[in-house]
Amino acid sequence: MSGLHDQDEVPLLAVRGLAKYYGARRGCANVSFDLHQGEVLAIVGESGSGKSTLLNLIAAELEPDAGSVAYRLRSGETRDLFGMGEAERRLLFRTDWGFVRQDAAQGLRMGVSAGGNVGERLMMTGARCYGDIRATAGDWLERVEIDPRRIDDGPRQFSGGMRQRLQIARNLVTRPRLVLMDEPTSGLDVSVQARLLDLIRNLVAELGLAVIIVTHDLAVARLLSHRMMVMKGGAVIEEGLTDRVLDDPQHPYSQLLVSSVLAA
Ligand SMILES: Nc1ncnc2c1ncn2[C@@H]1O[C@H](COP(=O)(O)OP(=O)(O)OP(=O)(O)O)[C@@H](O)[C@H]1O
């Protein structure tokens, strides 16, 4: 995928010098990047390279030891996430941000119906009319290729792929501008993965979403992202346009990563 943005516009997200240590062990350190509206950034690297730590820092689920994350609000004002009050940040995350987790059970309310899962997020943006909420939830189920007649079924009655699609509907119904995704397709059958990736790709393009996607799968990065960052040992060792990094990796570790996938 290739895509360009206006270099002059203020980034949606600006990450500077982010670091997290677990005791003496480096989770990630010295990570800086900008993300613009509509841009998809893949974070790749082997297990333990720091991908989840970085994503969880950006989601403010972990406290950084150093660094900042600035976000441009809909009002145009840019704010440091860690300087915000807890309530303000929570509201932002529930409306303007999404977080699609690898394990759908962590991103869904498993005891609540499909319609309830989608409607709940909508209510956080102020929707109150039951009929409208139900109709919008039904529309979103259709958009993620779930039969809207299953609106009253719970996620426990859904397959793994359907759960992930429901999680996507729940996250996108509020029309967020930024969505974090943590290995959204791993653990699913290959054919289910392909369908889900196709769906994600179309929705991201249609809604003009900015996305940070963590994946260990370079094919996922190739398909979805404009830019990618390669992490190793908690540090970003290479960063650039996805096609460039995959076709012409500069760092020996990225070369190894790319060639080992090609050889597989
Ligand atoms: N809660 C924790 N306590 C101690 N060390 C941790 C903790 N979480 C992560 N680490 C360490 O931080 C480093 C980065 O781990 P992280 O989970 O961010 O990597 P990752 O690339 O997301 O790996 P995976 O793909 O396996 O999830 C690793 O050395 C890991 O052992």
Q: What residue segments make up the domains of the chain, in order of their start?
A: 13-96+176-263, 111-175
Q: How far apart are CA 180 and CA 221, in angstroms?
A: 14
Residue range 6-25, pLDDT digits in tens: 545 899 999 999 999 999 99
The whole-number average pLDDT for the span 240-249 is 97
* pTM beyond 0.90, yes or no: yes
Instruction: Name the average pLDDT for the chain.
Output: 92
CB atoms within 10 A of CB 122: 20
Q: Is the CB of 51 under 6 A from ligand 1?
A: yes
Residue range 26-40, pLDDT digits in tens: 999 999 999 999 999
Q: Is the CB of 102 under 6 A from ligand 1?
A: no
Given this model, what pLDDT does residue 8 score?
54
Q: How far apart are CA 237 and CA 198, in angstroms?
A: 29
The whole-number average pLDDT for the span 153-165 is 95
Q: How far is the CA of 3 from the centre of ligand 1 (A)?
A: 31
Name the residue with tokens 């516009």: 9
Q: Nearest residue CA, atom 1 of ligand 1?
A: 22
Type of residue at 92: L
CB atoms within 10 A of CB 119: 24
Q: ipTM score of the complex?
A: 0.96
Is the four-CA dihedral 241, 243, 249, 251 of positive or negative sign? positive
Q: Nearest residue CA, atom 10 of ligand 1?
A: 27
Instruction: Write out the DSSP string of 105-143.
Output: HHHS-TTS-HHHHHHHHHHHTT---HHHHHHHHHHHHHH
Residues 6+ apart with CB under 8 A from 70: 13, 14, 15, 16, 78, 79, 80, 81
Q: In ligand 1, which atom is closest to the CA atom of 28?
A: 14
Orientation of helix 86-95 relative to helix 114-124, angle to 10°: 130
Q: Is the pLDDT of residue 2 over 50?
A: no
Q: Is the CB of 167 under 6 A from ligand 1?
A: no
Q: In ligand 1, which atom is closest to the CA atom of 45?
A: 21
Q: Is the pLDDT of residue 5 over 60?
A: no
Q: Is the CB of 20 under 6 A from ligand 1?
A: no
Residue range 204-239, pLDDT digits in tens: 999 999 999 999 999 999 999 999 999 999 999 999
Residue (of 205, 229, 234) closest to 218 by Cα position: 229
For the chain, the first-to-last Cα distance in angstroms comes to 23
Residue range 93-144, pLDDT digits in tens: 988 999 999 999 999 999 999 999 999 999 988 888 889 999 999 999 999 9
Architecture, CATH, for domain 13-96+176-263: 3-Layer(aba) Sandwich (3.40)
